[in-house]
């Protein structure tokens, strides 16, 4: 999961994720009763995400992963994308960490399409 933070922090998207003990944000890995690989419950105020709670679903991830480490990174990087205003499954032919059709076993970093969208927001 640290690699996922680094993947965003080193992407050149002008955003930085850090870990602190007093953060209002949480990330939980566990077995959840849904079909999603991950979910981001973001709290929004105006045009800003003020906090988020990410749940990574071990049940669905382990069922479909052939490269577990990469799959977890891909799902977590995707969920972090929501906290910087990236939406699910964008209409694009460009590679994107936000696309449902991406190969989660190989795509672990924000792509140029994602980075450009975050840069345009911030």
At 47 the pLDDT is 85
d(CA 117, CA 95): 13
Q: What whole-number distance in Å separates Cα of residue 25 and Cα of residue 32?
A: 19
Could you say which of 3.30.499.10, 3.40.50.300, 3.40.80.10, 3.40.390.10 is the CATH number of the domain covering 2-121?
3.40.390.10
Domain ranges across the chain: 2-121
CB distance 89 to 100 below 8 Å:
yes
Residue 41 backbone phi and psi in degrees, to 5: -95, 95
Q: pLDDT truncated to tens, each residue of the chain (122 aa)?
A: 899 999 999 999 999 999 999 999 999 999 999 999 999 999 999 988 999 999 999 999 999 999 999 999 999 999 999 999 999 999 999 999 999 999 999 999 999 999 999 999 98
């Amino acid at each position: 999961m640290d690699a996922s933070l680094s993947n965003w922090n080193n992407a050149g998207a002008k955003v930085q994720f850090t870990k602190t003990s007093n953060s209002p944000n949480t990330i939980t890995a566990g077995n959840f009763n849904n079909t999603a690989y991950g979910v981001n419950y973001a709290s929004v105020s105006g045009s800003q995400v003020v906090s988020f709670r990410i749940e990574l679903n071990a049940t669905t991830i382990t069922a479909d992963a052939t490269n577990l480490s990469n799959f977890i990174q891909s799902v977590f990087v995707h969920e972090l994308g929501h906290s910087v205003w990236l939406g699910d499954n964008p209409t694009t032919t460009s590679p994107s960490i936000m696309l449902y059709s991406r190969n989660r076993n190989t795509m672990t970093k924000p792509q140029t399409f994602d980075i450009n969208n975050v840069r345009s927001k911030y």
